[in-house]
Amino acid sequence: MAFDLEMIQAVYAGMGQRIEAARTAVGRPLTLTEKILYAHLYGGNVTQSFERGVSYVDFAPDRVAMQDATAQMALLQFMQAGKAQAAVPSTVHCDHLIQARDGANEDLAVANDENREVYDFLASVSNKYGIGFWKPGAGIIHQVVLENYAFPGGMMIGTDSHTPNAGGLGMIAIGVGGADAVDVMAGMAWELKFPKVIGVKLTGKMNGWTSAKDVILRVAGILTVKGGTGAIVEYFGEGANNLSATGKGTICNMGAEIGATTSVFSYDEKMGDYLRGTSRAEIAEAAAAVAHHLRADDEVYANPEAYYDQLIEIDLNTLEPYVNGPFTPDAAWPISQFAAAVKEHGWPEKLEVGLIGSCTNSSYEDITRAASIAEQAVTKGLTVNAEFTVTPGSELVRYTVERDGLLDTFAQMGGVVLANACGPCIGQWARHTDDPKRRNSIITSFNRNFAKRNDGNPNTHAFVASPEIVTAFAIAGDLTFNPLTDTLTSKDGQQVKLDEPRGVEMPPQGFAVEDAGYQAPAEDGSGVQVLVDPTSDRLELLEPFKPWEGTDLMGLRLLIKAQGKCTTDHISMAGPWLKYRGHLDNISNNMLIGATNAFNGEANKVRDFVAQGDTYNTVPQVARNYKSMHIGTVVVGDENYGEGSSREHAAMEPRHLGVRAVIVKSFARIHETNLKKQGMLGLTFANKADYDLIEEGDTIDILGLTTFAPGKQLQARLHHVDGDTDLIYLNHTYNEGQIEWFKAGSALNLIRLKEAGQA
Ligand code: MIC
Ligand code: SF4
């Protein structure tokens, strides 16, 4: 599992000169984001300055990480690229496919059995292409990356939207779709629009019940789910230096929920502590030696308004704990106002389950703080009124907290320890309930709370908070409880108050683990066979998508006009569907089944205009019907379409089922790129009000494609059922290279043509 010290030293050795060149090119002091980005230009030399929010830039990330649910598609694509080895250090992490039901050991055994074919596939592809493989049970990708691979000033991409977690160790870590990972593993440039930079200045020091999680819950309330789009969030100020590296990780992790490209902290002693504590003292030393490169220039901190595109200030002294939700992570309630909000909105007051852990909140510090509350359930003689689960982020953390007696503490309050995996966070939760449709409330220390995400029940109101707040709520079993001010009645009738949480950043006896779960790849993988059974329902080799036909697209059918929130969970649901992540045709049966049809307010019920008798059917079925008649389709959507996950299935499924264009009011970054990579048209209404012109039964022509060019609008002609037509204008963000992807049918088609010397 050895981290790559030489690679890291090489990054540091080149940094000074590149940053100096960047400062000259840009002509002003640099933010930390700019330093790291300019130090990672593809080709190395800094010869020009780039405009934030405008220039497309080629980067050379240091690493790639993939989790099992996205790695399947990423590696199926990589296998088509014709390379012998991954060009940069890369890892695969088996974390998403383990279903939480009875507890860690039982659930892991079931997962190993049920997913054997997929795990064997991932292990053998990894072995063949020089990719490190973390077995099921080793932990959640982002926690394992933080413990082993993240380093200050580095740059990585990961096929998961919470990859930014590594910003806690000062890394620019960006969530992408699998096709992007293929570029980097193939040794090609990875392209990103040079981001804007949002500064968040943290002053003061947290106290009492407030934790790092509350910083990001508050920021989410300020910026909303789309406020970070196209930007990197850079945290600084004395308050930042007081936060543990893992606390910083929590903040960066959940930056995904505001749409940020990533989030990052500058190097400080807390990062040094964490690196030393996780057996990487050499990196701490190397980083300390270049610490001036691992922070913004002094002028930036002295006058932040002048250098950041937007500035937010948060005073940690007065920051309250937050509870965010339900159904969206940016509905932020300070704890002092939460009970009133619960009453006012009529959310179910009884709390049924509290769930802690996940990639967001699994550190030693998190566990100790939560345990200090759990302990009081016993010492103060309290009844625990909700179910309680713990998902450790990694085997390293789990082993260590078990050794230190903390898991026992949770067990004593009735907690169930689940496998080191995503579990309930991604709907891998066989929730014990008598009625899967009941209105109910749960609270988690995870990051997302979209409808149906955890247990598939649209009536589950999921709230997000810190682990210690979740634990306190689980004891109370009541959402109107405020642990800071309210008392609970003990078993012997006393009114008792919970003491403030106490945490320990790093284990006093150090981390320990018996088997971390890592498998190194073969030195020479050329002889390794990767087998995919042609009859498998879990894995399917990919067929290249067809290139563009060279004409405008005439007579497309409107498949669905989606209304309101349409996240990747709505477009390609997770939970039970995760098992088809390596089989494009099978997983396509979940396409857009969660999206609300604007014409009838229902999910997964759209009109089929070519079926016998003009009927309604499910979205995938209607798409298949049009496809079988060679009729292309269009999906129309609302704001921030495709928010949430990096899963490229949300782009590949529509591509596979014949959707040609996705036209929306606005996109989330990763999803927009995923559409482009798969050869789709991802377009936005030039005039957002034109969304209202789209009528049920429309056929749509997409015009202007023969002169498709960067910055030049396309048009759509809408043919309504009553014979009327409308001509509307569509914006796009395709650059020259991306237009080539569209023409070739996908980015991968272009790579393949290039490998074969035909492009
Ligand atoms: C998520 O949190 O939504 C996931 C599941 O980790 C996804 C990745 C996936 O869909 O496989 C993400 O965040 O990118
Ligand atoms: Fe896993 Fe949840 Fe983290 Fe996504 S957010 S990586 S599903 S734990």
Among the listed residues 448, 624, 660, 732, the single catalytic one is 448
What integer pLDDT is reported at residue 2 of this predicted model? 58
What's the pTM? 0.97
647 among known catalytic residues: yes
For the stretch 20-58, pLDDT in tens is 999 999 999 999 999 999 999 999 999 999 999 999 999
Rounded distance between C-alpha atoms, residue 471 and residue 467, angstroms: 6
Average pLDDT over residues 725-749: 97
Q: For 600-698, where are the E strands, in sequence order?
A: 606-608, 615-617, 633-637, 659-664, 681-685
Q: Bridge-partner residues for 682, per DSSP?
A: 662
CA dihedral 108, 113, 119, 120 (to 10 degrees): 140
* Token pair listed for 697: 């039964």
* Token pair listed for 470: 């979740």
Contacts of residue 540, defined as CB under 8 A and 6 or more positions apart, other chains included, come to 76, 532, 582, 583, 584, 585, 586
Q: Is the CB of 253 under 6 A from ligand 1?
A: no
For the stretch 606-650, pLDDT in tens is 999 988 777 999 999 999 999 999 999 999 999 999 999 999 999
Task: Compute the C-alpha angle 641/720/616, nearest 5°.
Answer: 65
Atom of ligand 1 nearest to the CA of 447: 2
* pLDDT, mean over the chain: 97
* Helix, strand, coil distribution of the chain in percent, nearest 5: 35, 20, 40
Rounded distance between C-alpha atoms, residue 691 and residue 30, angstroms: 40
Average pLDDT over residues 6-24: 97
Q: Is the CB of 453 under 6 A from ligand 2?
A: no
Average pLDDT over residues 432-449: 94
645 among known catalytic residues: yes
* Strand 132-134 versus strand 518-519 pairing type: antiparallel
Q: Is the CB of 161 under 6 A from ligand 1?
A: yes
671 among known catalytic residues: no
CATH homologous superfamily, domain 553-755: Aconitase, domain 4 (3.20.19.10)
Q: Is the CB of 72 under 6 A from ligand 1?
A: no
Average pLDDT over residues 191-209: 97
3-state secondary structure of 597: strand
What stretch(es) of the chain map to CATH 3.20.19.10?
553-755
Which residue, 85, 67, 56, 7, is CA-closest to 190?
56
Q: Is the CB of 690 under 6 A from ligand 1?
A: no
3-state secondary structure of 295: coil
28 among known catalytic residues: no
Which residue, 576, 582, 446, is CA-closest to 162?
446
H or E element that contains 196: strand 196-203
Q: CB of 667 within 8 A of CB of 566?
A: no
Q: Which of 180, 359, 426, 653 to mutate to test the pocket of ligand 1 (most atoms within 8 A of CB)?
A: 426
Which residue, 613, 631, 701, is CA-closest to 663?
701
Contacts of residue 534, defined as CB under 8 A and 6 or more positions apart, other chains included, come to none
Q: CB of 724 within 8 A of CB of 578?
A: no
Average pLDDT over residues 118-133: 98
| CATH 3.40.50.300 is the classification of domain 5-315 | no
* Strand 132-134 versus strand 90-93 pairing type: parallel
CA 113 – ligand 1 centroid, Å: 23
Q: CB of 258 within 8 A of CB of 330?
A: yes
CA 663 – ligand 1 centroid, Å: 23
Q: CB of 445 within 8 A of CB of 360?
A: yes
- Compute the Cα dihedral for 315, 316, 318, 319 and give only its sign: positive
Among the listed residues 40, 96, 461, 557, the single catalytic one is 96
Task: Compute the C-alpha angle 623/624/625, nearest 5°.
Answer: 90
Interface TM-score (ipTM) > 0.90: yes
What integer pLDDT is reported at residue 757 of this predicted model? 82
Q: Is the CB of 69 under 6 A from ligand 1?
A: yes
One-letter amino acid for residue 642 of the chain = G
Which option is the CATH number for 323-431+438-496: 3.30.499.10, 3.30.420.40, 3.30.70.360, 3.40.50.2030? 3.30.499.10
Preceding amide of 547 cis, omega within 30:
no
For the stretch 53-88, pLDDT in tens is 999 999 999 999 999 999 999 999 999 888 999 999
CA 572 – ligand 1 centroid, Å: 11
The least confident of 426-430, 651-655, 659-663, 689-693 is 426-430
Burial class of residue 676, CB neighbours in 10 A (0-12, 13-18, 19+): buried
What integer pLDDT is reported at residue 460 of this predicted model? 98
Average pLDDT over residues 108-119: 97
CA 692 – ligand 1 centroid, Å: 31
For the stretch 484-530, pLDDT in tens is 999 999 999 999 999 999 999 999 999 999 999 999 999 999 999 99
Q: How many CB atoms lie within 10 A of CB 108?
A: 18
What integer pLDDT is reported at residue 1 of this predicted model? 46
What stretch(es) of the chain map to CATH 3.30.499.10?
5-315, 323-431+438-496
For the stretch 284-316, pLDDT in tens is 999 999 999 999 999 999 999 999 999 999 999
Query: Ligand 1, atom 12: nearest CA belongs to which residue?
Result: 645
For the stretch 394-419, pLDDT in tens is 999 999 999 999 999 999 999 999 99
Q: For 290-439, where are the E strands, in sequence order?
A: 310-315, 322-324, 332-334, 351-357, 387-391, 416-417
The least confident of 188-202, 246-260, 320-334, 529-543 is 529-543
- Compute the Cα dihedral for 556, 562, 566, 571 and give only its sign: negative
* Strand 63-67 versus strand 155-158 pairing type: parallel
Atom of ligand 1 nearest to the CA of 649: 10
Q: Which long-range contacts (CB under 8 A, 24 or more apart) does 601-607 make?
A: 601/563, 606/559, 606/560, 607/696, 607/697
Q: Which of 216, 426, 577, 670 to mutate to test the pocket of ligand 2 (most atoms within 8 A of CB)?
A: 426
Rounded distance between C-alpha atoms, residue 604 and residue 595, angstroms: 7
Which residue, 584, 605, 604, 585, is CA-closest to 594?
604
Average pLDDT over residues 243-263: 98
DSSP structure class, residue 346: T
Atom of ligand 2 nearest to the CA of 448: 5
| Cα-based distances in Å from 483 to 321, 384, 498, 731 | 10, 14, 7, 49
Task: Output the 3-class SS for 134-177.
Answer: ECCCCECHHHHHHHHCCCCCCEEEECCCCHHHHHHHCCEEEECC
Among the listed residues 394, 466, 572, 645, the single catalytic one is 645
3-state secondary structure of 728: strand
Ligand nearest to the CA of 176: 1
Among the listed residues 23, 647, 656, 669, the single catalytic one is 647
DSSP structure class, residue 539: B
DSSP structure class, residue 392: -
Query: Where does the pLDDT of residue 432 fall: very low under 50, low under 70, confident under 90, or very high at 90 and above?
Result: confident
- Compute the Cα dihedral for 551, 552, 555, 561 and give only its sign: positive
439 among known catalytic residues: no
Atom of ligand 1 nearest to the CA of 453: 3
